[in-house]
Amino acid sequence: MATTTDDLLRLDNQVCFAIVTAARNVVSLYRPVLEPLGLTHPQYLVMLALWESSPRSLGELADELAMEPATLSPLVKRLETQGRLTRTRRITDERVLDIALTSEGRELRREALAVPGQIMAKTGMDAAHLRALRDGLAPFSGPAASRH
């Protein structure tokens, strides 16, 4: 089927639009699952990264999450206010802000273990299907794509 130049500019033919729409839908899917944990989707991503490795610098965390430190900083402050992590200046270099889990933040991980199962139930997809979907998006996901 031939594609005209005008068809290339149709909104529903845009990969960028499909990805943005899918991202919004994923966040909407997670919202009711994360709400009982007192987390937004971006906060959940921060906690996931810290459950893997804590403490770490704000810069390291920003790199891991593919976020700008200025975008990440308010998220981290809110999580600190909730008692889930601490922010401290590194003694050897006061320019570096270290982020560490509190005992409450570590305990929250136990509750979060139910999140993947709830997402699988909501999507009707099992772990293998979700993994395939994630891997299909890997070329677009920046630094995390290299960890497969």
For 71-110, how does the pLDDT look when each residue is reduced to its tens digit (9 = 90+)? 999 999 999 999 999 999 989 988 899 999 999 999 999 9
What is the reported pLDDT for 100? 97
| Range 10-127: architecture per CATH | Orthogonal Bundle (1.10)
Residue 147, pLDDT > 60, answer no
* Helix (H) / strand (E) containing 94: strand 93-101
DSSP letter at 128 equals: H
Total-model pTM: 0.84
Model confidence over 100-141: pLDDT tens digits? Answer: 999 999 999 999 999 999 999 999 999 999 999 888 887 755
Mind listing the pLDDT tens digit for each residue in 42-74? 999 999 999 999 999 999 999 999 999 999 999
Sort residue 12 into left (φ over 0), alpha (ψ -120 to 50) or beta.
alpha
Cβ atoms of 135 and 146 within 8 Å: the answer is: no
